[in-house]
Structure 1
Amino acid sequence: MKSIWFIVLLLFSLFSVSAQRSSIKITGKVVESQNQHPIAFATISVNDKNSKKPITGTISSENGSFQLKTEARHFYIEISFMGFKSQTLTNFNIKKGNINLKTIILEEDQQTLDEVVVRAERSQLEFKLDKRVFNVGSDLSSTGASALEVLNNIPSVTVNIEGEISLRGSQGVQILINGKPSVLASAEGNALGSITADMIEKVEVITNPSAKFDAEGTSGILNIIIKKSEKRGLNGSATLNVGNPRSNSFGLSLNKRTEKFNLFSQLGFGIRTYPSDYETINRDLTTQSTVSSYGSSAFDEKFGNILIGSDYYFNEKNVVTLSASYAYEVEDQEAYARFMETDGSNTLLNEWIRSELTEATNPKLRYELQFKRDFERHKDQSLLFSALGSSFRKDQFSDFNNITIIGNRDDALQKTRTDYKLEDYTFKLDYTHPFLEQYTLEIGSQYVINGVTNDFTVEDFIDGKWISNPDLTNIFNFNQNVLGLYTTAAYEGKKWGIKLGARLENTALKTVLETTNEHNRKNYNNVFPSGHTSYKISDNFSLQAGFSKRIRRPRLRELNPFSNIRNNFNISTGNPDLNPEYTDSYEITSINKIGKVSLNFTVYNRYTTDVVERITRFENNVSISRPENVGSNTVTGFEANGKLIPTKWWTINGDFNFNYFNRKGDFESQVFDFKGNQWSASLSTKFKLPAEFELEITGNYRSKYQTIQSEISDNIFADLGVRKKIFKGKTILNLSIRDVFASRIDQTTTTQPNFFLYNKRQRGRFISFGISYGFGKGEAMEFSGRRR
């Protein structure tokens, strides 16, 4: 009998425990405030009242409804979605194990200020202790564009027609992909062209990097963050772009998130055409003889790329990432130029046509292993190790043909062959240790290995045979290893913060010209200090200041002594004996919010030694330019960024940059001391129109400025974009026109005592149309997803 009572008591106890742990069902619907439209994929989170940690959660369906269950008893509910103000619910009624939240209305978050963050619904500008973050996913004029064209839309950044990137008017910018060097960020072979605008989530602009970053790049760092969604379940998007001149591409992004794995992949392919018109004048001021040319070229690029990777979460604190990407480009270029030679009395002596046919293939491979460990002691304590390898190869063949029209010049045939191989390896170890709540210590190391081989041959067709030109043929080998060690210490209080650091780097460089047996070795050690501070005077006004010492090591293109023979009268070569540039950089920034206006002002100063400038020599109407170390340059500048949101349907962004420079130096007994200034401005405005249309117009201006020997002309151009959302934002249509008035013309004039040079180049107007579709839990183009 006792046994029976014991069993009954045990069953009753189990039933009581089960009843106590019965789950609570939570239901409701999420809509937006303006038109009461349902919000799909809003995040509903059930959080513990004491620890504030999430217990469970879900996302809303296509019609905004949701339901979930929890066994917890002490909790609150949070509903959030990107671009809307979150709602936190602490008071709700539980009836028979159910909580019916009915309809939750979320209001648009037009502008919030959190740790000096200025946001709008579409674009984003975030100021951190040592960098600025620009969300470029909403640039309407970027449809079908490459990464270079996206960078050109970012304040403080300019990209010229040759693809050279400047920050605040100065070159020497280091490009990173997801915080690390990458073959896709290489300046060689238009590598950034394989990254399209729809692949980019944001760009970090670091004008004064801390010691944690590689010291390379005197003007700063641009870090391109590639999209990688981590939303649970299957999600993705597809993008199709067409354009004129031809700019056709297709991109597909797929992500699958489970409890342990995040699988991510991207596939893209396309074809682009870059037409250009150019004009040159070479004049000997002693004899007044002149060689001039005008012509056009069409550069066709077919490309394909694939990225596959996976994050594996051992547990909440340990994750390993393995990824690999492969890109392949096929390049074809046709060029045509008419040359004319006149004497001092402007009498035509010779006229001929020079044509070019170039073919090249560029395979690129990148692979990476990364391990990150977080610690229980503090949420920001972490250990990160990464190993990155990449390779790039270019096999290029060019045929040149000179056909005489007037005069006694002989017809001529030339051809070149380039066999180029590059391999890079980067190993990084970073440890972050917060302590005493407001302090953080960072230590780390980095080892970078660069190796390049360039086999270059020029042949002339003489007496029915191809004869190698020994003056222009050689094998160039380049090897550079950089070892870096760094430490930083930071204090961040409620109003004031400071971060100090130092980086030690050793550089070992070796170049060899095999055919002529020319060797060059350099080995040097450098210490690069840095310091950053910020002070929050009020919720609407903050100050930031920083300094750093930087280095700009000579680029391969500057070291490689081979000549470009596209125009035999304007030859560009490299210099294996170049030394690096060193820059001391200082800046102070104020961040202001006045009503609907956000204003940011920066005063900066840069002092650079061993400045690399191209020096041009002139003989027999042939100009030969070669980079040399020429003295120092002091730049003092002012930059202003502003954003105004007069109404919900109108946004205005502006950027202005002015700098004054003082050049001092001499080369081969010629003094190059001069002073000058340059300035640039951009203004963009965006309108929300009826029927979910958006219109964006951007104007840019860059003033003329002086270099060691030349003057660069001013430049003005405008871009336009129109966007239309359909199917509740799952599909987006885009139309963009870049350089609307075809006014973006690059002109360089060189006037010296004994010669005059003029170079002009223009690419013209680009029109693109794109359609993007998001499926699964993905969205078209704009939504970056919930991130870990």
Structure 2
Amino acid sequence: MIIKQWLGFIRKYFQNTIFFWVLMFNLSMALAQEKSILIVGSLVEDASGQPVPYATVALYDATSRSLITGATTTDNGSFKIKTYSRDFYVEISFMGYKTKSISEFQVVDGKVDLGIVHLEPNNQALEAVDVTGEVSKTVFKLDKRVFNVGKDISSTGMSALEVLNNVPSVNVSIEGAITLRGSSGVQILINGKPSVLADQSSNALGTITADMIESIEVITNPSAKYEASGTSGILNIIIKKEDKEGWNGSISANTGSPDNHSIGGSINRRTEKFNLFTQFGVGYRSLPENNEAKNSNLINGETVFSKGKEFRNETFFNITLGTDYHLNEFNVFTLSGNFAYEIEDQPSETNFSFFEENNLISKWVRKETTDADNPKWQYEFNWKKTFPNNEEHTFQLSALGSFFGKDQASFFTDTTLEGDNVDNNQRTATTFQQADYTFKADYVDPLSEEYTIETGAQYVINDVGNDFTVKDLIDNVYVTNDNLTNNFEWNQKVLGIYATGAYENDIWGIKLGLRVENTDLNTLLTNTNEANSRNFTNLFPTVHSSYKWSENFSLQLGYSKRIFRPRLWDLNPFFNIRNNFNIRVGNPNLQPEFTNSYELTSIYTIGKASMSSSLYHRYTTDVVVRVSTFENNVTVRRPENIGTNSTIGFETNGKWSPNTWLTLTGDFNFNYFDRKGTFESQVFDFTGRQWSTRLGSKIGLPSDIDVELNGNYQSGFETVQGEQSGYAFMDFGLRKKILKGKIVLNLGIRDVFASRIEERFINQPTFEVYNFEQRGRFFTFGISYGFGKGEAMTYSGRRR
């Protein structure tokens, strides 16, 4: 109440001040001229007839269109202005209403009476305000949840990987591995399609910043419309694209510590026929990581300790250009392209110590210098046809091509510090090329208000080559190490055809689907001429149902069958030698794993709180898991197909807004798993449990300041050979809006207490291995400016 009184006082102060100076001006003019003109009138809202106070009434010269004088309306909407000009027009404006221009009037006895002037609401402006206002982070639909990240200020300046880590049910490890409800095998899509930017193995998601993301769709039980890969579901990242007439856009700059500097922007120009859009970004980031390892041989008492720090320093550039062309009311063509380029520098230094029992035998330091250039591009054509009888009756045809390359050179030097000489210098060279092509057709026909059918097909081609060379320094000459050198080729073609049928009324609905996929996979290790060819066809049924119990309570039921096809890095026999006592390799004989997924979800609201709870069950066969072997104190991790995994889980998400300035969110996920399997006469039968929780709060302070706090906890869990420890961390964010949101300032702190630490233990009868990894605390500061009809970091307008 006090604030409102002060605002009213200030408004009246400025109103009276303006009126005073206008009056003084008119008095001074009266001394030089004989007659003035008085303009009077009253301003009301067209719909309600209520007065409109504090609106702007301005007089402009009719010839030069320059401002002559002006005033504001009083509390009852009335106004009066004096002028000595004889050639003028009146313009009346107020936020949220259409500007009114009056040029036709009569002067009677030195007075112009405009009478009652009606202001009409500006519907376009009101729609924009409605879209850009505070919205719930999570929106529930029949077979997915939509997480809006546009207001997630703690992610300012962060990459898409770090934004994903704020999405309920999703977790991103320090290594960048993405899991959904604790399970890997997640398929990442960009705007509903495969993309080079969604390639987890190449860190391409790092080129997408939080400012570019509109929302993320979490699909735990995808329908048959989606390709069946990804055993734990699909994450669909929706990139922002303006959809308002005229020029719209936003530009942002970010800085941070460790180094995280970037400039990015988005520009959109919409006309009746065309929508031209572009996004660009350039920057530099440094990702440090502390790591420790301990390899213990329990047979002879030998131990190898390692402790070091490594960096991934990246200079990156990306630009997207595209256009929507509206041929007519029913046909829209989209053509877009993206180009990105990364320059990587990866220095590292690791200190090693070798002990026999408690006696130090040798001590040395291993240094790495790695440089890489990563070009990537993507192009897409899309045609969407809408039929006259129903806007939901559509046919869509798309073609997508992408390329990712890596030209990398690494130098390793081992320098003895104490004890036995272990000097060893190596160099590696990698030439990596990946070309992907996707062709897709989708047809949707609402037969009636209750019945809908969908059908379509998709053909995906993946063609990858990885030429990896290792050389050892022998007698001052680098000699190729044939045991570690390889040229691996991977080619995969997947043809999928699907059909779904749905019935839905106001109370309940059901959707049935079937997808058929044929996989043709070929791999070749050229240096040994080892080839592996597979061709198989699988059926993937899906069922989704919903029941609206009341306005505040709904139920959803879903079933789907999924597949995880091993990728290049899972199949390639050689991976890295950064730490030559802890090596990861691939397995060219790896088989796909299949999952049957069942889910029952309830969605309900209680007062100002909304919640969603799910019971789910997943049964996976031929589970892919990395198994460690130990020889000569060296740990080698290799993926293998081991048995089955049966998981039963419970998840709940909630949001509560007790008042206008406070919002609380929470997420809790618990699952119990039963692992069964045998590998090389070793039985891996055990049960375990895993849980995670996330609590978040958003506090609105005066002066357009928002504060966010997000706390996370990930429990430890048992693995096939040991266990992984749990960890907790907290993120902080602060936002300040200026000029009604045209300028936004953001401050973010990720992992405030530097407590996000991952520890893995392998405990076997003959050896033990310990691994420690920590990224540390990150600070970011950003500023965004919105121009045209847009707002900074708020891409209003509907996405087409």
- TM-score (structure 2 length as normaliser): 0.86
1:657 maps to 2:657: no
Q: Matched residues in 2 for 1:154 and 1:314: separation?
A: 38
Query: Which residue, 527, 530, 535 being the options, matches 2:542?
Result: 530
Query: Which residue, 162, 167, 179 being the options, matches 2:180?
Result: 167
**SS where residue 161 of structure 1 aligns?**
coil
Query: Which residue, 209, 231, 234 being the options, matches 1:196?
Result: 209
Q: Deviations over 1:223-280 (max 9, x none)?
A: 0000010110011100000000011000011110000000000110000000111100
Deviation of 1:98 after TM superposition, in Å, equals 8.7
**SS where residue 602 of structure 1 aligns?**
strand
The structure with the larger Rg is 2
Q: Matched residues in 2 for 1:300 and 1:682: separation?
A: 30
Q: Matched residues in 2 for 1:725 and 1:29: separation?
A: 31
1:479 maps to 2:491: yes
- Corresponding position of 2:694: 682
* 1:218–1:552 contact (8 Å) kept in structure 2: yes
- Corresponding position of 2:573: 561
Q: Matched residues in 2 for 1:36 and 1:566: separation?
A: 70
Query: Which residue, 440, 464, 470 being the options, matches 1:428?
Result: 440
- Corresponding position of 1:55: none
Change in 2 beyond 3 A, CA 1:544/1:407: same
Q: Deviations over 1:205-235 (max 9, x none)?
A: 0000000001000000000000010110011
- Corresponding position of 1:776: 788
- Corresponding position of 1:619: 631
* 1:30–1:38 contact (8 Å) kept in structure 2: no
Change in 2 beyond 3 A, CA 1:563/1:786: closer
Change in 2 beyond 3 A, CA 1:109/1:446: closer
Q: Matched residues in 2 for 1:181 and 1:373: separation?
A: 21
What is the percentage of aligned positions where both structures have the same residue?
56
Q: Matched residues in 1 for 2:191 and 2:164: separation?
A: 15
- Corresponding position of 1:9: none
- Corresponding position of 1:403: 415
Q: Deviations over 1:585-616 (max 9, x none)?
A: 00000001010111111000000000001111
Deviation of 1:109 after TM superposition, in Å, equals 13
1:583 maps to 2:615: no
Q: Which runs of 5+ in 2 are unaligned?
A: 1-42, 57-91, 102-113
- For residues 742-757 of structure 1, the aligned pairs below 5 Å read 742-757=754-769
- AA at the equivalent of 2:299: T
Q: Matched residues in 2 for 1:369 and 1:438: separation?
A: 32
- Corresponding position of 2:162: 149
Query: Which residue, 614, 624, 638 being the options, matches 2:650?
Result: 638
Q: Matched residues in 1 for 2:495 and 2:99: separation?
A: 54
Query: Which residue, 658, 672, 685 being the options, matches 2:684?
Result: 672
- Corresponding position of 2:60: none
- Corresponding position of 1:66: 98
Q: Matched residues in 1 for 2:233 and 2:711: separation?
A: 24
**SS where residue 203 of structure 2 aligns?**
helix
* 2:353–2:362 contact (8 Å) kept in structure 1: yes
- AA at the equivalent of 2:236: N
- For residues 40-439 of structure 1, the aligned pairs below 5 Å read 63-67=95-99, 100-101=119-120, 121-344=134-357, 346-439=358-451
* 2:46–2:118 contact (8 Å) kept in structure 1: no
Change in 2 beyond 3 A, CA 1:689/1:97: closer
* 1:27–1:67 contact (8 Å) kept in structure 2: no
Query: Which residue, 698, 709, 721 being the options, matches 2:721?
Result: 709
Deviation of 1:785 after TM superposition, in Å, equals 1.7
Query: Which residue, 493, 508, 513 being the options, matches 2:505?
Result: 493
Q: Matched residues in 1 for 2:624 and 2:688: separation?
A: 17
Deviation of 1:518 after TM superposition, in Å, equals 0.4
1:727 maps to 2:739: yes
Deviation of 1:777 after TM superposition, in Å, equals 1.1
Deviation of 1:409 after TM superposition, in Å, equals 2.1
**SS where residue 798 of structure 2 aligns?**
coil
1:512 maps to 2:544: no
Q: Matched residues in 2 for 1:269 and 1:390: separation?
A: 20
* 2:748–2:779 contact (8 Å) kept in structure 1: yes
Deviation of 1:187 after TM superposition, in Å, equals 1.5
* 2:93–2:100 contact (8 Å) kept in structure 1: no
* Number of positions where the alignment pairs a residue of Structure 1 with one of Structure 2: 709
Q: Matched residues in 1 for 2:198 and 2:263: separation?
A: 21
Q: Matched residues in 2 for 1:568 and 1:503: separation?
A: 44
Deviation of 1:121 after TM superposition, in Å, equals 1.9
- Corresponding position of 1:12: none
- AA at the equivalent of 2:728: I
Query: Which residue, 586, 609, 619 being the options, matches 1:597?
Result: 609
Change in 2 beyond 3 A, CA 1:184/1:29: farther
Q: Which runs of 5+ in 1 are unaligned?
A: 1-25, 40-59, 70-94, 113-118
Deviation of 1:784 after TM superposition, in Å, equals 2.9
**SS where residue 381 of structure 1 aligns?**
strand
Deviation of 1:454 after TM superposition, in Å, equals 0.5
Deviation of 1:104 after TM superposition, in Å, equals 10
Q: Matched residues in 2 for 1:375 and 1:161: separation?
A: 48
Deviation of 1:297 after TM superposition, in Å, equals 1.3
Change in 2 beyond 3 A, CA 1:442/1:329: same
Q: Matched residues in 1 for 2:389 and 2:293: separation?
A: 66
- Corresponding position of 2:104: none
**SS where residue 244 of structure 2 aligns?**
coil
Q: Matched residues in 2 for 1:105 and 1:189: separation?
A: 42
Q: Matched residues in 2 for 1:379 and 1:108: separation?
A: 21
Change in 2 beyond 3 A, CA 1:105/1:734: same
- AA at the equivalent of 1:218: T
- Corresponding position of 2:22: none
Q: Matched residues in 1 for 2:126 and 2:372: separation?
A: 54
Q: Matched residues in 2 for 1:306 and 1:682: separation?
A: 34
* 1:227–1:784 contact (8 Å) kept in structure 2: no
